Amino acid sequence: MSFGGQTPTIVVLKEGTDQSQGRGQIVSNINACIAVQTTIKSTLGPYGGDLMLVDENGRQTITNDGATVMKLLDIVHPAARILTDIARSQDAEVGDGTTSVVVLAGEVLKEVKEHVEAGVSSQTIIKALRRASLMATNKIKEIAVNTKETNQRDTLRKLAATAMSSKLIHRNSDFFTKMVVDAVLSLDQEDLDEKLIGIKKITGGALQDSLFVNGVAFKKTFAYAGFEQQPKSFKDPKIVCLNVELELKSEKDNAEVRVEQVSEYQAIVDAEWKIIYDKMEALYKTGAKVVLSKLPIGDLATQYFADRDVFCAGRVASEDLERVCQATGAAIQSTCSDIHPSHLGTCANFEERQIGSERYNFFEGCPAAKTCTLVLRGGAEQFIAEVERSLHDAIMIVRRAIKNTTIVAGGGACEMEVSAYLHNFADKNIPHKQQGIIKAFAKALEVIPRQLCDNAGFDATDILNRLRVEHRKGNTWAGVDFDHEGVRDNLEAFVWEPALVKINAIQAAVEATCLILSVDETIRNQESQAPQGPQRGLPAGAAQRAIRGRGRGMPRR
């Protein structure tokens, strides 16, 4: 319908809304993701550097853990945020390979960028990438080695050592791999809940002073007068765990009690005292020598228990109390009047010990121990925090390896084998448009060994050429030799990784790539706090602005 021979302008979006669309928008999104990859790829591998991230309050985080870096980077570009999601997904699913998945996703985007610019439909690229991903994961499953028949503990230690090779603690890997494997094997082998591995950090001392406690340890809680008179060590004590407050509380501000005689007021006070004394008496009669509660245990109860040679601790953190119950067989009680012997726990030794400047309560030799505690020592707070992140990755790897016994060789060996297979397959079996995309994906896989060499200061071109030759000869596990700057069989060198890490990384990277390629229009409201939409054909250098200011800072709170 026309008015006076002119077609009226129809406004669908309100004024000021920014619209970016078409091929230029896809290229812009790719450039933003490459900028993120450039930031993080220097942390990959055993010789990768660490990033220091400083938030607006000046708090520092020094790390090379991909998931932590991606979480702390203040990424404002909406497409680049997808890389944060895949890093988190990899961390939650397998616990390691978080840097690899971001580097791989960025490289796949970089390789297909020229096809996008040449006018190839993004749907054609997506279809080819999904096909390549399926072929790659099937190839990994085919070449993976099953370690079910081998010594489980020995295999797990090798996997943990590989996970630690790129971390701060790699010099002490022998010490920590034993600790990590012992920790995971102490859990219930059915569910392997990593939350039952308590990690406590105490500044001071050397890394080698770190402890593995086959039981529970937690910091001495807030203590009232009389606490020091309590015994601090028991053999085979009975333990009661409560969710009960043992403290005389002042009345609420608006509480009102009307009495006609002073004696009536005294009766109310006496009743309050009788209630708390009855509770303490009931607890003492259970025969328990250790009383723990989530809620406060006041000075009256502390002194009462001290007079009767009973140890008590109130305001115990929920997760610590839960782990005490798991280890000792106790059950948390919400009453003091109906506690049966079956509700009590026990352990071989209870002791309060001084570690550095802190005092800790230790429960060791627990009969039902399905939990453990790692007490970490170190010179600086940031250093201990990075040790904790490193151990988390190793723990997750060992945990996955118990359930999935297939392994592959690390050091770029697996990626080079899959890359050679895809190149060969594409040349012989795919004559149409998809051939170029699959070969681009195969080339992108080479970024892992290339970046490992770059970060170690090796000649990446020379080593990559030698690796290509070895894999064409059929040496499946030829990878980068970090000890002698060359090429070696990394399966024989015990550079092992769970096959699940590689499979998950490839699948997550391809899914993220396909998602980014499928977005060809961005609509942003004027009120949005993020910077205005990127212009079409944003050059790669300008895409660095996709990671916005405040240094490499933490997200706003």
CATH of the domain at 491: 1.10.560.10
- Does 14 map to a domain? no
Which string of b and e fits 254-276 if b means at least 16 CB within 10 Å? eeeeeeeeeeeeeeeeeeeeeeb
Residue 529 tokens, joined: 């706090």
- What's the alpha-carbon Rg for the chain, to the nearest Å? 30
Same domain, 383 and 470: no
- Does 556 map to a domain? no
Residue 341 pairs with which residues in a beta bridge? none
Same domain, 239 and 337: yes
pLDDT for the residue 556: 38
pLDDT for the residue 73: 86
CA angle 185-187-190, nearest 5°?
A: 100
Tell me which residue of 71, 165, 169 sits closest to 496, measured CA to CA: 165
Domain hosting 177: range is 152-214+375-404
- Does 4 map to a domain? no
- Does 421 map to a domain? yes
- Does 39 map to a domain? yes
pLDDT for the residue 427: 86
pLDDT for the residue 300: 87
- Does 8 map to a domain? no
Question: How many domains does one find in the chain?
Answer: 3
* CATH code (residue 161): 3.30.260.10
- Does 553 map to a domain? no
Q: For the chain, which residues score pLDDT lower than 50?
A: 1-3, 13, 16-18, 529-557
Tell me which residue of 264, 272, 535, 496 sits closest to 398, measured CA to CA: 496
Same domain, 536 and 432: yes
pLDDT for the residue 547: 45
pLDDT for the residue 255: 65
d(CA 392, CA 387): 9
Other CB atoms within 10 A of residue 115 CB = 19
Same domain, 210 and 221: no
Task: Provide φ and ψ at 368, rounded to 5°.
Answer: -100, 25
Q: Answer with the one of 368, 394, 423 that is the final residue of a domain.
A: 368
Same domain, 342 and 230: yes
- Does 552 map to a domain? no
Same domain, 275 and 173: no
Same domain, 338 and 354: yes
Residue type, 98: T
Same domain, 57 and 179: no
Same domain, 439 and 453: yes
Tell me which residue of 388, 256, 249, 243 sits closest to 318, measured CA to CA: 243
Say if CB 217 and CB 360 are below 8 A apart: yes
Q: Answer with the one of 340, 368, 396 that is the final residue of a domain.
A: 368
* CATH code (residue 356): 3.50.7.10
Q: Is the pTM of this model over 0.85?
A: no
Same domain, 361 and 449: no
pLDDT for the residue 541: 45
Same domain, 130 and 228: no
CA quadruple 122, 126, 128, 129: dihedral sign: positive
| Secondary structure, 3-state, 169-187 | HHHHHHHHHHHHHHHHHCC
What lies within 8 Å, CB to CB, of 125 at 6+ separation is 112, 115, 116, 437, 517
pLDDT for the residue 334: 87
Same domain, 221 and 352: yes
What lies within 8 Å, CB to CB, of 306 at 6+ separation is 226, 227, 229, 230
